Amino acid sequence: MNSFISILLVWTMALMSCGLSDQNDLIYTNAYNFILKSQDLREYSNEVQHNLDLKDKPKLYISSSFRENSPYPCLCDILKKRYKIKETCTVEIGLDRPTSTKASDSIKQAYTKYSPNKVRRLPFNHVISGRKKGIAITFSDVYQNSLTAEVFGFHYDNQDMLMGKSLIFYFTFKSSGEIESVFLGETHYN
């Protein structure tokens, strides 16, 4: 009887694991497809093409590098969309206004138990290796139905070099894996 219960427990865990994996695959795929179709990527691609002096539009490669899941780089867009701020983000955040403090505290609370899981399986091929110039995307782990993705231009010559700014997409998903909301931010590299 004990062996039957053990086998049943192992099968249940395996099935739950498969369901979670399928759910994460759907989340990664939906985020990737959203970014591929976005106007933000088209505009960014034009910038990278110009900055790297490329003849053709750069392709989007998948990077195997890891990015932590965090909404903070997109805080300005979150304040505009969720909290409907009227001021500029610089004023709102810089003056520690109640709305920005509330949003920041809310994020901090939601992420208190977050521990980055750098071991994740992406439903894509990691095709960035061997490329000298282009655009790549790196993903975070999935945490509480959210995901962060960073799109960056790169130019690998004698040393690794990220180009200018990168786009940060912060996604929240419904329990079905459909995108619920998307927020955009930027990070700048020297």
pLDDT in tens, 20-74: 468 899 999 999 999 999 999 999 999 888 887 888 888 888 887 888 999 989 9
Q: Is residue 91 in some structural domain? A: no
Whole-angstrom distance, CA of residue 31 vs CA of residue 22: 14
Angle at 68 between CA 176 and CA 115, to 5 degrees: 85
Q: Is residue 150 in some structural domain? A: yes
Q: Is residue 178 in some structural domain? A: yes
Better-predicted residue by pLDDT, 130 or 35: 35
Handedness of CA 127, 132, 136, 142 (dihedral sign): positive
Whole-angstrom distance, CA of residue 121 vs CA of residue 184: 24
- pTM as predicted: 0.80
Q: How many domains does the chain have?
A: 1
> Strand ranges (DSSP E) for the chain?
60-66, 133-139, 146-155, 162-173, 179-188
Q: Work out the average pLDDT over 99-104.
A: 78
Contact call for residues 120 and 128 (beta carbons, < 8 A): no
Q: Is residue 40 in some structural domain? A: yes
Provide the domain limits for residue 47: 2-71+111-188
Q: Which amino acid is at 107?
A: I
Burial zone of 178 (CB within 10 Å; 0-12 exposed, 13-18 middle, 19+ buried): exposed
Q: Is the per-residue pLDDT at 127 higher than 70?
A: no
Q: Please write the tens of the pLDDT for every residue from 131-164.
A: 677 888 999 999 999 999 999 888 776 455 666 7
Which residue bears the tokens 């996604």? 171
What local confidence, expressed as pLDDT, does residue 17 receive? 38
Q: Is residue 98 in some structural domain? A: no
Q: Is residue 118 in some structural domain? A: yes
Q: Is residue 105 in some structural domain? A: no
Q: Is residue 89 in some structural domain? A: no
Whole-angstrom distance, CA of residue 152 vs CA of residue 68: 15
The neighbour count for residue 102, using CB atoms within 10 Å, is: 12
Whole-angstrom distance, CA of residue 143 vs CA of residue 172: 9
Contact call for residues 162 and 154 (beta carbons, < 8 A): yes
The helix/strand count (H/E) of the chain reads as 5, 5
**Sequence-ordered list of residues with C-beta below 8 angstroms from that of 97, at least 6 positions apart, any chain:** 85, 87, 91
The neighbour count for residue 14, using CB atoms within 10 Å, is: 10
